[in-house]
Structure 1
Amino acid sequence: MGSPSRSARGKAYYFWRVLAVSCALALGILSLWPADELVRLGATHLNDKVGHFIGYLLLAGLFGSGWPRRPLWQIWVATFLFGLLIEYAQSFTPSRQFEMLDMVANGTGALVAVGALWFWRRR
């Protein structure tokens, strides 16, 4: 049994890329959705900063899995800049605002994912 064929690897990368883009869209929508609407939907059970950490941990992990040849520092920077863009966009919504602690949670989640990817890639 040899290594997977190039076609099989390409399909796997495509799968992870679709998940990564879907995750980015979901994060963008949830981050710009009116806060009072999320409360009405019952989204208060998860601490806001924990949600940011988990969301960006997943996003960076999915991007790192979809683009495995991309340097990990670029995955982190792209994920962090996406979070910065979303936080900035929140300043234009009526019930949201830019929060520095959200950026810390975003960056930390992405950093943990990149660290895990680094260990995985070294195996």
Structure 2
Amino acid sequence: MRLHRTLNILLDNQLLWRVLFTASLMLIAWLGFTSQPYPIPSSASDKVNHFLAFAELAFLARLGWPTIGLRVPFVVLTGFGLALELGQAMTPWRQFSLYDLGADMMGILAGFGLVAAVLRLMPGRPE
């Protein structure tokens, strides 16, 4: 029971999730524009990187702002992905890709699903 209480306290810590979301957003933006090799391990497929990055952002956004529903974070994160792609189109070392944007959107939906699954596993929590 103590573990459930600790996990509930962690899940309810909106400030933590918001700080992690902001830090992740900045790191993902930097990674999206850098011409340097990634300082962290990444997938051989750029689409997997996009999927995982946006799944993480959606997960953090959902826990950081649990009362705003799904539409707002979906639109905001999709807009962020589009802005990244448009910005990358202006750099000589990156290019615009609708497939990347599609991977972003699929990642957002997966992140929402992961949060729903975590909350469903926690007894006594609303979804």
The TM tier, using the shorter chain, reads 0.7 to 0.9
Q: Tell me what 1:38 maps to.
A: 37
Q: Tell me what 1:107 maps to.
A: 105
Segments of 5+ residues of structure 2 without an aligned counterpart are: 121-125
Identity over aligned residues, as a percent? 30
**Are 2:55 and 1:54 aligned?**
no
Q: Distance in 2 between matches of 1:76 and 1:29?
A: 21
Q: Distance in 1 between matches of 2:79 and 2:49?
A: 18
Deviation at 1:67, TM superposition (A): 0.4
Q: Distance in 1 between matches of 2:48 and 2:110?
A: 13
Q: Superposition RMSD on alpha carbons, in Å?
A: 2.6
What are the equivalent positions in structure 2 for 1:1-123 lying under 5 Å apart? Answer: 12-34=13-35, 37-38=36-37, 45-119=43-117, 120=119, 122-123=126-127
Can you list the C-alpha shifts for 1:34-78, whole angstroms capped at 9, x where unaligned? 1xx227x68565321100000000001101110011111211111
Q: Distance in 1 between matches of 2:56 and 2:40?
A: 22
Is the CA contact (8 Å cut-off) linking 2:42 and 2:49 kept in structure 1?
no
TM-score (norm 1): 0.80
The verdict on how the C-alpha distance between 1:45 and 1:76 changes in structure 2, with shifts beyond 3 A counting, is closer
Which of structure 1's runs of 4+ aligned residues deviate more than 4 A?
41-45
Count of aligned pairs: 114
Q: Distance in 2 between matches of 1:13 and 1:75?
A: 15
The verdict on how the C-alpha distance between 1:98 and 1:65 changes in structure 2, with shifts beyond 3 A counting, is same
Q: Tell me what 2:123 maps to.
A: none
Is the CA contact (8 Å cut-off) linking 1:57 and 1:110 kept in structure 2?
yes
Q: Distance in 1 between matches of 2:52 and 2:43?
A: 14
